[in-house]
Chain A
């Protein structure tokens, strides 16, 4: 019987190839879409939490970690560190003391733009370099630090992380090096430095320039707060909530969990993709096996004349479908890995091919194939033997 299945598969190469590709398509859909969604989220969460600052201060409203426009007044950074006193410009402001336990703050602007590579998107940070390095362990390893955006000539400078420097291309399509020009917020910026490790967005420009280009003068996206000691974080969070109600204050350690929560809407989309993949696998195998059964009506008649039971015929057809599906799964995995390598080499998209999702994709391909073959198999098993053997 196994040789019959192998012979059937090899004897109809076009039908077999189309079926395998169909199943592989479903597998690729699941693995790449899920891998892309999770890879991007995990990568972003990892970089967002890879800072020394223990606390993040965000504007009120819904918490979104996907690059809010500049909605938070930048002066919160100074207020948290140094306190607030009435001034001639603002005589009515309520005085507030510096938040105890805070040793550094920095205002960060974040913006999401289309990837320069043309696929996906990428984040851009606007920052004040001097205060930023006090809240992170960012270190410029090549070139020089980012300018302040105020000094003439420093407005359109950028620094990038090592990954970006090694995988990115400049506006002329050449590999990135110091002095390369890249497009940020629709303007050309010159790369003046390469930093490590990856912290927040891969591309950083002066906050002041970002404010000017986005029309958000004196605003930022969030403020990072560095405590004297990490164990003071909870106390600082409590003080910040008391001094500045109406804003969000979260611990940096919560950020990965918040990203996971942010995956919830994506999960709905992924479930749709999984459903579509299953439907594709079922339909491809159903059509392929149904066509095969019609082509092989006479052979099924021969099997019946030899005394093959209905179960034998169903199992034979199901085994063939399962074998084709398994080949589709393998092809799908190969294509998914190739897709991951290509995407990561040519774009800044990250793809996580997790074992769990590879198993799910394999099950979808194989179960879809087996389910798709049920109707053709039952139809074959119930053929009238005399009619089948006389079929031309």
Chain B
């Protein structure tokens, strides 16, 4: 089976004035379809940069990113945007929902960006039901709890059947109870819909839900299948 994601010697250098700040120093990784992967590592190790590059939001200084046989690094900005639209779903720590739209409105917007006017109400109902949001469709984000908001964000991210769901600290803004619910939902998506998930987290309990834990340090993938407790700089 071909990997859904492959990064090869990925490097990223930020320029802060005349100073070069390396964020990634040759990160290489493979993720299989349907895998649930957690990336851990101390702050500043390059996790978020890695996620943004894989999601096509940043262009790496060098190296390659291949998503379902499409080389992201050989693409123009517009082509990367198109690939992101077709194959990537993002979930952020701060939920990042449109506050003026209802839960359903947020999903419809994602569908509209993905498919224009041809939307799939059946898929929308399925996802909302799976994430326990069937009775919250007409609520705006401020009328929902943090956990519910994050579930809407997850629903929005998977509504268009992305090849990869990228989650950046999805439980970082949630209490334990809501974190558990969100992590359960992500696990359910992975099991029931075979959704590939790559999740950045500092939380060992969150990482423990994944099939595989990857450790990053100083811009490198230092271990690609590690026991959760063995990763330094994480907290339980």
A15, CB-defined interface residue at 8 Å:
no
Task: Contact check, B100 vs A7: say whether CB atoms are below 8 A apart.
Answer: yes
Known: A3-B101, A385-B57. A304 touches B112 (CB 8 A): no
With a cutoff of 8 Å between Cβ atoms, the chain A residues found around residue B88 in the complex are 307
B113, CB-defined interface residue at 8 Å:
yes
With a cutoff of 8 Å between Cβ atoms, the chain B residues found around residue A386 in the complex are 52, 57-58
B41, CB-defined interface residue at 8 Å:
no
Q: How far is the CA of A3 from the CA of B111 in the complex (A)?
A: 13
Known: A4-B98, A4-B101, A386-B58. A310 touches B78 (CB 8 A): yes
B2-10, B61-69, B102-110 - the one binding chain A: B102-110
With a cutoff of 8 Å between Cβ atoms, the chain A residues found around residue B78 in the complex are 309-310
B151, CB-defined interface residue at 8 Å:
no
The residues in A between 1 and 32 inclusive whose CB is less than 8 angstroms from any CB of B are: 1, 3-4, 7-8, 10-11
Task: Contact check, B98 vs A299: say whether CB atoms are below 8 A apart.
Answer: yes
With a cutoff of 8 Å between Cβ atoms, the chain A residues found around residue B28 in the complex are none
Closest to B87 in A: A307
Task: Contact check, A389 vs B92: say whether CB atoms are below 8 A apart.
Answer: yes
With a cutoff of 8 Å between Cβ atoms, the chain B residues found around residue A307 in the complex are 81-82, 84-86, 88, 113-114
B219, CB-defined interface residue at 8 Å:
no
Q: How far is the CA of A373 from the CA of B28 in the complex (A)?
A: 43
Q: For the complex, count residues of B whose C-beta is within 8 A of A.
A: 27
A303, CB-defined interface residue at 8 Å:
yes
A47, CB-defined interface residue at 8 Å:
no
Known: A305-B90, A307-B113, A385-B57. A7 touches B98 (CB 8 A): yes
The residues in B between 30 and 85 inclusive whose CB is less than 8 angstroms from any CB of A are: 52, 55, 57-58, 78, 81-82, 84-85
Closest beta carbon of chain A to B178's beta carbon, Å: 21
Closest to A309 in B: B81
Task: Contact check, B105 vs A7: say whether CB atoms are below 8 A apart.
Answer: yes
B145, CB-defined interface residue at 8 Å:
no
Against B, the Cβ 8 Å flags (1 = close, 0 = not) of A268-308 are: 00000000000000000000000000000011011111111
B96, CB-defined interface residue at 8 Å:
yes
Q: How far is the CA of A299 from the CA of B82 in the complex (A)?
A: 19
Task: Contact check, A305 vs B57: say whether CB atoms are below 8 A apart.
Answer: yes
Closest beta carbon of chain A to B145's beta carbon, Å: 20
Closest beta carbon of chain B to A119's beta carbon, Å: 45
With a cutoff of 8 Å between Cβ atoms, the chain B residues found around residue A312 in the complex are 113
Q: How far is the CA of A309 from the CA of B101 in the complex (A)?
A: 20
Task: Contact check, B113 vs A303: say whether CB atoms are below 8 A apart.
Answer: yes
Closest to B55 in A: A305
Task: Contact check, A306 vs B85: say whether CB atoms are below 8 A apart.
Answer: yes
Closest to B111 in A: A306
Q: How far is the CA of A39 from the CA of B216 in the complex (A)?
A: 78
Task: Contact check, B101 vs A1: say whether CB atoms are below 8 A apart.
Answer: no
Closest beta carbon of chain A to B153's beta carbon, Å: 10
Q: How far is the CA of A167 from the CA of B113 in the complex (A)?
A: 59
Task: Contact check, A306 vs B57: say whether CB atoms are below 8 A apart.
Answer: no
Closest to B114 in A: A307
Set B85, B99, B109: member contacting A1, Cβ < 8 A: B109
Q: How far is the CA of A389 from the CA of B113 in the complex (A)?
A: 17
With a cutoff of 8 Å between Cβ atoms, the chain B residues found around residue A11 in the complex are 99-100
Known: A7-B105, A386-B52, A386-B57. A308 touches B98 (CB 8 A): no
Q: How far is the CA of A356 from the CA of B81 in the complex (A)?
A: 44
- Given A305-B92, A307-B84, list of 14 further CB < 8 A pairs? A4-B98, A4-B100, A4-B109, A8-B100, A303-B113, A305-B90, A305-B96, A306-B90, A306-B109, A306-B110, A307-B81, A307-B85, A308-B113, A389-B57
Q: Which residues on B are within 8 Å of A, measured CB to CB?
A: 52, 55, 57-58, 78, 81-82, 84-86, 88, 90, 92, 96-101, 105, 108-110, 112-114, 156
Nearest 5 CB-CB pairings of A with B: A307-B85, A7-B100, A307-B84, A385-B57, A11-B100
A-B contact pairs, 15 of them (CB 8 A): A3-B109, A298-B96, A301-B96, A302-B98, A306-B110, A307-B85, A307-B86, A307-B114, A308-B113, A309-B78, A309-B82, A310-B78, A386-B52, A389-B57, A389-B96
